[in-house]
Amino acid sequence: MVCIPKHPRCPDCPLQGLCLAHRAGKECDLPIRLVKKKSPVEEITVVVVRHGDQWLVHRRPPKGLLASMWEFPNALGKGKEGIAAVRQLLAQKGLTLAADDQPVGSLKSVFSHKTWQMTVYEGCITQGKIGEEEDWQWIDCKDYASLPWAGPHGKITAMV
């Protein structure tokens, strides 16, 4: 009722003698309101790659965001550009991806420092096999619940 931001009633204030802001003549400038920084939005294309009753999944690196958790193949980018980026990612593993043009859904995931805007497509592998790498695997769709999914990727299982 007395110490009001921007218009403090210092003459009526019983704390005037103790107040450092008043002494410094800064009573009208305080408190400083911090402008909340907008977190960056990353467009991410996810392709749920299916082979019969199996999905192709990837384990994220052991350090960083959602470390060592499992996700569907994905890459930065949107639309055709995003699908091309996922295709390129899988090509590095010797896999040829055929992805649908139309997305099956989208979802947003907000972290403390960034937001993922994810668009989800379906696809299949037309050529190639994954090797013995532990971080790329085919899993049975029915076992999805036991996999430690990387955040929003677990929700994608309900879309496809």
Asked if 8 and 80 count as a contact pair (C-beta separation under 8 A), the reply is no
Distance, CA of 35 to CA of 111 (rounded, Å): 18
109 binds ligand SF4 per the rule CB under 6 A: no
- Closest separation between CB of residue 17 and ligand SF4, Å? 8
CB within 8 Å of 128: residues ≥ 6 apart? 90, 93, 94, 95, 96
Closest CB 36 distance from ligand SF4, rounded Å:
25
Identify the H or E element spanning 71: strand 70-71
Should residue 24 be labelled a site residue for ligand SF4 when binding is judged by CB under 6 A?
no
Neighbours of 3 (CB within 10 A): 17
Token pair for 38: 């907008």
- Position 15 contacts ligand SF4 (CB under 6 A): yes
Using CB under 6 A, pick the residue from 1, 2, 108, 137 that binds ligand SF4.
2
Minimum CB distance to ligand SF4 smaller for 17 or for 40: 17
Closer by beta carbon to ligand SF4, 6 or else 129 = 6
Among 1, 5, 10, 65, binds ligand SF4 (CB under 6 A): 10
Question: Which DSSP helix (H) or strand (E) runs through 20?
Answer: helix 20-23
Near ligand SF4 by CB under 6 A: residue from 6, 21, 66, 111: 21
For ligand SF4, the closer CB: 5 or 94? 5
Query: Does 67 engage in binding with ligand SF4 (CB under 6 A)?
Result: no
CA distance 153 to 100: 19
Pairing of strands 70-71, 54-59: antiparallel
In the bound state with ligand SF4, the residue whose beta carbon lies nearer, of 16 and 115, is 16
Binding residues for ligand SF4, per CB under 6 A?
Answer: 2-3, 8-10, 13, 15-16, 19, 21-22, 27
